[in-house]
Structure 1
Amino acid sequence: MIHAVLIFNTSGVPRLTKYYVPPSSFTPVQKAALPGKIFQLISARSATLCNFLDAPNLNLFPNAQKDGDETRIVYRCYATLYFVFVVDSSESELGVLDLIQVFVEALDQSFENVCELDLVFHFDDVHHILAEMIQGGLVLETNVHEIAQSVREARKARKDSYATANPLSLGGSTAGTSQRGGTSMTTPLGWLAGKMTGLGSR
């Protein structure tokens, strides 16, 4: 099972934290300490070492350790970002490395060469991509094209919803009017434009 997904920059600042364990598994203090402890472990490792390590000293998932599952960290570094998955011993380390690659490729397709600022200003899309891949700590989808298509459709649906719900939207072919339910509706902007046109003819 996947317990957590985190993204850090090279300074150790978390840019994404997503947990797939019940809140009762650890205290808020332990949860706040997790990113810092993980970053200390991976940042001290040489680039020549493998990309996964056992981390029983984290001791942040007591329920998993009672079952005999050791906490493992699987990570990859891309440019200035560390992508980190915290998993138990039931997960394949090589499989998780491939999953990280799928995650990064999906982000690249969504943001056209993803960078740290994309994670900051488009965090909702990042969480959506992650949700398409993982639910409840279990992997659902690994096809990059399917994930990217779902994100594009959701983004288009949000834009369409905003355009129909916002009375001042200028997305229609005629400024000040919008089509809702097959009928034309004059918006306040259209009403104001009509009044100003009427003043000019007097």
Structure 2
Amino acid sequence: MGIRFILMVNKQGQTRLAQYYEWLTLEQRRALEGEIVRKCLARNDQQCSFVEHRNYKIVYRRYASLFFMVGVDDDECELDIMFHLEKAHFMLEEMVMNGCIVETSKANILSPIQLMDKAH
């Protein structure tokens, strides 16, 4: 299936945005978020940005005071993300500017990337 959830968490561990692409109860979401946030925030800057947790691989990155965490299927290959890291950065730049969310429309975020892909 691919991406299962996306979290934006501040450095105090509070979830600021959570989007799920699979059904979980509120209690399951809270427990999962708490476990993942504790695990990711405990890591230092020298450790890689990939963590395995339950049946997920978590890819996370800190930008200013926010952590962006993406949960993918355990069998989803992180090489897909690593080989397209510039696209991931580009999407975040389209969504967030100076720590503020400026765009939430999937179509608007992806259209410049689709144009770049057509140009190649």
TM-score (norm 2): 0.75
Amino acid at match of 1:75: Y
Matched-pair identity in %: 30
Amino acid at match of 1:85: V
Q: 5+ residue gaps in structure 1? A: 57-69, 135-140, 147-202
The structure whose RCO (Cα within 8 Å, separation 6+) is larger is: 2
Partner of 2:78: 93
Is contact 1:4–1:19 with CA below 8 Å preserved after alignment?
A: yes
Partner of 1:49: 47
Greater helix fraction, Structure 1 or Structure 2: 1
Q: 5+ residue gaps in structure 2? A: 116-120
Q: Could you say which structure has the larger radius of gyration?
A: 1
Whether 1:71 and 2:69 are equivalent positions in the alignment is: no
Partner of 1:33: 31
Alignment of 1:1-202 (within 5 A): 1-21=2-22, 23=23, 26-56=24-54, 70-96=55-81, 98=85, 100-108=88-96, 113-115=97-99, 118-119=100-101, 125-126=103-104, 128=105, 131-132=106-107, 141=110, 143-144=112-113
TM-score (norm 1): 0.47
State the aligned residue count.
111
CA–CA distance in 2 between the matches of 1:133 and 1:34?
30
CA–CA distance in 1 between the matches of 2:19 and 2:95?
16
Is contact 1:102–1:142 with CA below 8 Å preserved after alignment?
A: no
CA–CA distance in 2 between the matches of 1:52 and 1:143?
27
Change (3 A) 1:92 1:40: same
RMSD: 2.6
